[in-house]
Amino acid sequence: MIVSFRLNGQQTTFRFTHPVSLLNVLRNELAAPGAKSSCDQGECGSCSVMLDEELVCSCLVLASDVEGSEVTTVEGVSGPDGQLHPVQRAMHEAGAVQCGFCTPGIVVAAVELFDAEPSPSASRIREALAGNICRCTGYGAIVRSFERLAGREAP
Amino acid sequence: MTSQTGQRLGVTGGVGESTIRPDGVAKLRGEFAYAQDLTAEGMLWAATTRSPHARARIVSIDIAPALAIGGVHAVLTHDDVPGRALFGLEHPDQPVLASEEVRYWGEPVAVVAAEDEHTARLAAAAIEVNYEELEPLVDPEEADRRDDVFRRMTVRRGDPEIRGSVVVEGFYEVGMQDQAPLGTEAGLATPDGHGGVDLYATSQYVHVDHEQVVASLGLRPDQVRAHPVGIGGAFGAREDVNLHIHLCLLALHTNRPVKMVYHRAESFTGHVHRHPARMWFRHEADDDGRLVRVEARILIDGGAYASTTGPVLANACYFAVGPYRCDSVAIEGVGARTNNPPCGAMRGFGAVQACFAHEAQMDRLAQSLGMDPLELRRRNALVTGDIMPTTGQRIETPLPTQEVIDSLAAMPRLDEPPTSDPLQLPGGTGLTSGLEHVRRGVGYALSIKNLGFSEGFDDYAQARVKLTPAGAVVESAAIEVGQGLVTVLAQIARTVLGVSEAEVRHVDTSRIDSAGSTSASRQTQLSGGATREAAERIRAMILEKYAADHLDDEGAWRGEELVVPMSRLATEGWEETVTFRHPPTEAPDENGQGTLHADFAVAGHRAVVDVDAELGLVRVVRVDTAQDVGRALNPEAVRGQIEGGIMQGVGLAIMEELILDEGKMRNATFTDYLLPTILDAPAVEALLIEQDGSWGPFGAKGVGEPPTISSTPAVVAALRAVTGRPLHRVPVRPQDMALESVP
């Protein structure tokens, strides 16, 4: 089967012979390893990407279902000049990155949040990131980074 | 976060500053290369065939069906292991691939290499292993009765006849916690074309991986190079070998690069876990609350193979009293061998299990005496110059137990009253609980933990520092698992050499001696110590050569005169390699006595919880802490360790447990093994207690483990305060709180 879609703005085509997830195709066929494979069942959010307008766990999306879609991964979040997205900058400065394995998924989820809502409430920030597990930080620095970005200093 | 002291030393980006981690941008862009992301030209994929039984005799293995699948390049079993058939971190007792008998559910029996991952997994499933099932031994108490144990130990000190006027006795249990690092086990092995192999795999300790690969492959040490790679968390799960030998075997067998990545369910079986524990404690005190005697029996389940059961048990016994004085102690420890999954290192390493019990006991003692729980702890606080109640060792480094207690007592209560915001209610947006049912509780706990390796182990770390035109370069084989070693070593180099640019390079086992394990809260002290000493030697040699008195980005200065510019110094090839050792420790005598530990850290936690006691639902509102850090080399990074450690402690208190049924895991997925999310995260106020005097660089102590140790008992103490239930087991389940009597 052949599937064509846009990946981070680039037209992309790939061919496959057995059912495979979008995550697997991104990581192993399309040299876009930014999305991470961790739980493989939609629980941890490490593989989060934007599928058109929707935030999805790419481990749960069949590659055959992305025909004609626009997929944005963490690699497509930075500006065209390569500058960090404000979400990335906020996380960087607040020490919200430790091992970093959850980071790509959190970046994509937070970009979706802040694109829709530039100054989300503390509750809204937590709700938006409730699908992203981080095992290192205890979420403290992640919360602080986004509360600062939202213009609300963390308590 | 506040800090009691803390002046800055010299250069920008040096020690004491919250320097931002150098790998952060790559991680935020998704460009950082983890072991999972590695590829090589002509690479094959590997997969593992695992035992479906907790115990069985292997009658036969038929690999023909796997070999018949197109694209399969190799199928290896125990017959194909050319060197030592067994491996192990402490004792080589675990088969590289099982022969004759499998001893735990998920034990590797065969490995496969194929053109792609899908084919490799198909082939692994196609191997026909004929098993004769045997009765598994899954009860650690039965193993103890049969004397099927990895280690027994006794810690005995003082007058065994002495008795107190107040006695409390209790039985406690800790469930099997998993480290659940987000990155699963992964790696790539590449043949070098001359019979040797390069290994790039998840690890906390590449030099012991190297030793074990060399032994099992029957190669010379110089034929194997183990390379540090990007790691998605560790928390103890990566000290032991799992896929390392398998990958190297397959790479040499096929003469192709071979990659393997465990799926999550495999990861749960592929690494060791926190030991489940069953503990009996008896505390006796006088009428003033001073501990007179502590007796305990601690049984931990090591599972099928030794891993680090010995030292985990030792830690549980040596820290069984907590940071308290007591002159009469008797602790019996047993590390049982069963057919449960092997257990080993996890953050807190034995101290976690004991702390849950000794802190529950201290609270019960306070209750019996009608005394404030912090006051009881203050009266017994173990401080610098005191004798460890268990080992008899005099504590020479700073131990600010009183300061921890006083700080906790003085910390303002920042918790706001419960609200009806569903995200803030126990049970969350399920809206099962209502504000009118919510009751708030507060609990305290203290802990003590050793830093670095103990019991006479020759614990050292090597680091190399160079002065180059690009700035200072630190070379080390120490593993960065996310904790920020890569930041702090550069800060140390900047501070000592006075240069703004410093970079840490991870080098393989052939290019430097061991940095030891990234565990036991030890790398900042050990690799940091080696980095500091190497940089100081370079600085001293430069100052001596040029009769200078100051070094910075400009060069070497004598008073106001620039004697030699940095542009020249940086081309002179300054380089120093240092092996740093902490003060030596000794092996215990038959009573567990001796100078067994190099350094200690104390911490205290105050937990605030909201509970719907009818439904047994909990929200942990806050966990505040005071922690002995020696000197905070990077305060924000320390805070990150504290918040992350507390979250894992909260996880053990109320949700994280691997459930076993006759040795088989029933919840080896992230759907069923519950991990705390951002909605479960408590607010944290952290007070760093800084005191000079530890042997770590600039007085630094390790900070990674203490946050995990006493946060668990603090949460459970708060739950007891609300529910009035004994709650003798973690994780505490809803039914333990809601129902009148749960066995």
Per-residue pLDDT tens for A48-94? 999 999 999 999 999 999 999 999 999 999 877 889 999 999 999 99
State the burial class of residue B584 (Cβ atoms within 10 Å of its Cβ: 0-12, 13-18, 19+). Answer: exposed
**A34–B640 CB contact, under 8 Å:** no
**A134 neighbourhood in chain B, CB within 8 Å:** 182, 678
Nearest to B471 by CA among B578, B569, B549, B537: B569
Cβ contact A137:A98 at 8 Å? yes
**B36–A155 CB contact, under 8 Å:** no
User: Cα–Cα distances in Å, from A143 out to A139, B69, B590?
Assistant: 6, 50, 50
Six-digit token string for B311: 């030292």
* CB-closest option in A18, A33, A97 to B118: A18
The Cα angle at residue B405 between residues B399 and B409, in degrees rounded to 5:
160
* CB-closest option in A37, A95, A100 to B636: A95
**A18 neighbourhood in chain B, CB within 8 Å:** 118
Nearest to B716 by CA among B667, B660, B655, B657: B655
**B644–A136 CB contact, under 8 Å:** yes
**B681–A138 CB contact, under 8 Å:** yes
Cβ contact B582:B454 at 8 Å? no
Integer Cα distance of A78 and A145 in angstroms: 17
- Distance from the Cα of A45 to chain B's closest Cα (Å) equals 10
* CB-closest option in A77, A99, A137 to B481: A99
**B640–A75 CB contact, under 8 Å:** no
Tell me, rounded to whole angstroms, the distance of Cα B616 from its chain centroid: 30
Q: B636 to chain A: nearest residue by CA?
A: A95
| pLDDT given for residue B34 in this prediction | 98
Sign of the C-alpha dihedral, residues B20, B21, B22, B24?
negative
* CB-closest option in A84, A107, A135 to B675: A135
In angstroms, the first-to-last Cα distance of chain A is 52
- Distance from the Cα of A38 to chain B's closest Cα (Å) equals 6
- Distance from the Cα of A68 to chain B's closest Cα (Å) equals 24
Q: What pLDDT, in 10s, does the model give residues B562-605?
A: 999 999 999 999 999 999 999 999 999 999 999 999 999 999 99
**A121 neighbourhood in chain B, CB within 8 Å:** none
Six-digit token string for B244: 């390392």
**Dihedral pair phi/psi, residue B595, rounded to 5°:** -85, 85
Nearest to B524 by CA among B364, B377, B704: B704
| pLDDT given for residue B8 in this prediction | 34
pTM score:
0.97
DSSP symbol at B96: S
Six-digit token string for B319: 């820290």
- Distance from the Cα of B142 to chain A's closest Cα (Å) equals 35
Instruction: Kindly state the helix (H) or strand (E) to which residue B581 belongs, with its residue range.
Output: strand B575-581
* CB-closest option in A35, A38, A93 to B20: A93
**B669–A127 CB contact, under 8 Å:** no
Sign of the C-alpha dihedral, residues B582, B583, B584, B589?
negative
Please, where are the H alpha helices in chain A?
Answer: 22-24, 86-94, 103-116, 122-128, 140-149
Q: B265 to chain A: nearest residue by CA?
A: A39
Phi-psi region of A52 (alpha: psi -120 to 50; beta: other; left: phi over 0): left
User: Cα–Cα distances in Å, from B208 out to B92, B204, B224, B461, B537?
Assistant: 12, 9, 12, 13, 29
Residue B742 has pLDDT above 70, yes or no: no
| pLDDT given for residue A155 in this prediction | 43
The Cα angle at residue B700 between residues B697 and B703, in degrees rounded to 5:
135
Q: Which residues 6+ apart lie within 8 Å of A9 measured at CB?
A: A70, A76
**Dihedral pair phi/psi, residue B332, rounded to 5°:** -110, 130
* CB-closest option in B30, B483, B684 to A98: B483
**A100 neighbourhood in chain B, CB within 8 Å:** 23-24, 27-28, 32, 232, 482
**A107 neighbourhood in chain B, CB within 8 Å:** 28, 30
**B681–A140 CB contact, under 8 Å:** yes
Residue B3 has pLDDT above 60, yes or no: no
* CB-closest option in B30, B481, B636 to A75: B30
**A74–B678 CB contact, under 8 Å:** no
Q: What pLDDT, in 10s, does the model give residues A96-144?
A: 999 999 999 999 999 999 999 999 999 999 999 999 999 999 999 999 9
Name the one residue in this structure whose structure tokens are 């004397």.
Answer: B147
- Distance from the Cα of B115 to chain A's closest Cα (Å) equals 13
| pLDDT given for residue B10 in this prediction | 59
Interface test with A, best of B32, B119, B182 (most A CBs within 10 A): B182
Six-digit token string for B95: 């088969």
Q: A138 to chain B: nearest residue by CA?
A: B644
Q: A45 to chain B: nearest residue by CA?
A: B182
Nearest to B151 by CA among B298, B322, B269, B278: B298
Q: B21 to chain A: nearest residue by CA?
A: A95
**A41 neighbourhood in chain B, CB within 8 Å:** 264, 669-671
CB atoms within 10 A of CB A150: 20
**A38–B677 CB contact, under 8 Å:** no
**B681–A139 CB contact, under 8 Å:** yes
- Distance from the Cα of B675 to chain A's closest Cα (Å) equals 8
Integer Cα distance of B207 and B478 in angstroms: 9
- Angle separating helix axes B401-410 and B373-380, nearest 10 degrees: 160
User: Cα–Cα distances in Å, from A66 out to A101, B356, B361, B589?
Assistant: 25, 50, 58, 66
Q: In the predicted model, what is the mean pLDDT of chain B? A: 96
**A139–B37 CB contact, under 8 Å:** no
| pLDDT given for residue B743 in this prediction | 43
- Distance from the Cα of A7 to chain B's closest Cα (Å) equals 15
- Distance from the Cα of B27 to chain A's closest Cα (Å) equals 6
3-class secondary-structure state, position B563: strand
Nearest to B186 by CA among B230, B224, B127, B124: B230
- Distance from the Cα of A128 to chain B's closest Cα (Å) equals 10
* CB-closest option in B421, B640, B671 to A141: B640
* CB-closest option in A34, A130, A138 to B30: A34
**A88 neighbourhood in chain B, CB within 8 Å:** 25, 28-29
* CB-closest option in B30, B670, B679 to A130: B679
Cβ contact B54:A131 at 8 Å? no
Confidence of residue B740 (pLDDT cuts 50, 70, 90): low
- Distance from the Cα of B315 to chain A's closest Cα (Å) equals 24
Q: Which residues 6+ apart lie within 8 Å of B578 measured at CB?
A: B462, B463, B464, B465, B530, B531, B533, B534, B537
Q: In the predicted model, what is the mean pLDDT of chain A? A: 95
Indicate the pairing of strand B101-102 with strand B258-261.
unpaired
Tell me, rounded to whole angstroms, the distance of Cα B148 from its chain centroid: 26
Integer Cα distance of B717 and B176 in angstroms: 20
Nearest to B715 by CA among B700, B738, B731: B731
Q: What pLDDT, in 10s, does the model give residues B481-534?
A: 999 999 999 999 999 999 999 999 999 999 999 999 999 999 999 999 999 999
* CB-closest option in A18, A92, A137 to B28: A92
Q: B259 to chain A: nearest residue by CA?
A: A28
Q: A48 to chain B: nearest residue by CA?
A: B30
Q: What pLDDT, in 10s, does the model give residues B135-182?
A: 999 999 999 999 999 999 999 999 999 999 999 999 999 999 999 999
Cβ contact B622:B641 at 8 Å? no
**B30 neighbourhood in chain A, CB within 8 Å:** 32-35, 73-75, 103-104, 107
Cβ contact B515:B477 at 8 Å? yes
Residue B9 has pLDDT above 50, yes or no: no
Confidence of residue B262 (pLDDT cuts 50, 70, 90): very high
Name the one residue in this structure whose structure tokens are 């802190």.
Answer: B359
**A98–B645 CB contact, under 8 Å:** no
**B234 neighbourhood in chain A, CB within 8 Å:** 99
DSSP symbol at B29: H
Six-digit token string for B315: 């830690």
β-bridge mates for residue B465, sequence order: B474, B576
Interface test with B, best of A88, A98, A137 (most B CBs within 10 A): A98
State the burial class of residue A14 (Cβ atoms within 10 Å of its Cβ: 0-12, 13-18, 19+). Answer: middle
| pLDDT given for residue B6 in this prediction | 36
| pLDDT given for residue A153 in this prediction | 59
Residue B697 has pLDDT above 70, yes or no: yes
β-bridge mates for residue B273, sequence order: B343
Q: What pLDDT, in 10s, does the model give residues B549-558?
A: 999 999 999 9
Q: A19 to chain B: nearest residue by CA?
A: B118
